[in-house]
A and B are shown apart, each in its own frame.
Chain A
Amino acid sequence: DVKVTQSSRYLVKRTGEKVFLECVQDMDHENMFWYRQDPGLGLRLIYFSYDVKMKEKGDIPEGYSVSREKKERFSLILESASTNQTSMYLCATGGGPNEKLFFGSGTQLSVL
């Protein structure tokens, strides 16, 4: 079974803090993704990566950056957290074009 592990289930941060969300997968998948999930808005793609050191913007990249130094690890960075970034963050991994995505358990981030 594919395992996608997100480092924290719950995080509480203050406005202006730098926040790191970590995601690790064990299936040697090329593609990794960060989504945020908000009630009524569904899943929205923030950033994705096809390979080590490669990154592409998704639909809502503003206020976020990412890092992929190793194939199995994809980090989402909030440089200066704001209250409108309070959300559920989901990491996903997939093997190729139109491949099914496998999700982590999510990180519920609250920015106060």
Chain B
Amino acid sequence: GQQLNQSPQSMFIQEGEDVSMNCTSSSIFNTWLWYKQEPGEGPVLLIALYKAGELTSNGRLTAQFGITRKDSFLNISASIPSDVGIYFCAGAPNQGGSEKLVFGKGTKLTVNP
């Protein structure tokens, strides 16, 4: 099936640093979602984006829906140890329901205190 290219695969950063990650696709999406998954838990929705160019914040997290509709970015500012986890992007293509959501393989974030 379709795949999203999510990068980087992993990041090791110091507390206080800013973080950027992104997802790209060869297809156009009309919804982008960003999730965080902590060890042993299910993914938790962080931010949902529905319009090209949209920039949405959730606390220290900011995500953008790319103008081309083929990419999305997630930034975390001033990272803290509890930001540790795997961050997933998910995109919904132009046609179809929630079953058409395509997931990236995740960015594993490690924050050193």
Contact = CB atoms under 8 A, between A and B. Distances in A.
B111 interface: no
28 contacts: A4-B42, A9-B40, A31-B97, A31-B98, A33-B99, A42-B88, A42-B103, A42-B104, A42-B106, A43-B88, A43-B103, A48-B98, A56-B99, A90-B43, A96-B97, A98-B30, A98-B92, A98-B98, A100-B31, A100-B45, A100-B48, A101-B33, A101-B45, A101-B90, A103-B43, A105-B41, A106-B41, A108-B40
Given A104-B42, A105-B41, A40 B101 contact: no
A72 to B, nearest CB: 17
B105 interface: yes
A112 to B, nearest CB: 20
A59 B1 contact: yes
A104 B42 CA distance: 6
Contacts, number: 63
Contacts of A31: 97-99
Given A40-B105, A42-B106, A98-B92, A33 B42 contact: no
A97 B104 contact: no
Interface string A87-107: 000101010111111111110
Contacts of A43: 43, 88, 103
Interface of A: 4, 6, 9, 31, 33, 40-43, 45, 48, 50, 56, 58-59, 90, 92, 94, 96-106, 108
A40 B3 CA distance: 13
Q: For this complex, into which size category does the number of interface residues on chain B fall?
A: 20 to 34
- 9 closest cross-chain pairs (CB), A and B: A103-B42, A98-B92, A94-B98, A42-B105, A97-B97, A43-B103, A98-B31, A106-B42, A48-B99
Interface string B78-113: 000000000010101000111101011110000000
